[in-house]
Amino acid sequence: MEMKKFLCSKCQNVIEVPYGVPKPETCPYCGAPATFIHRIDGGGRGLGRGRGARCGLRMMGRDE
């Protein structure tokens, strides 16, 4: 099964969760909140934030 990897910037431990499971709300090692937990494995299967087909079409002068 493929796993997503997160890094807790407070304790520097790597947290692995399976795809389909959301980012942990707290670090299982030190209890730090989600604001300290960041994705480190390059991202998921989608286009990512701001990469959708509608992003920036009006800014590029394309009329709809």
- For 9-37, the pLDDT digits (tens) are 999 999 999 999 999 999 999 999 999 99
> Taking a C-beta distance cutoff of 8 angstroms, is the pair 28, 15 a contact?
yes
CATH classification of 3-39 is 1.10.357, yes or no?
no
Its pTM stands at: 0.64
**pLDDT band (50, 70, 90) for residue 57:** low
pLDDT, position 37: 96
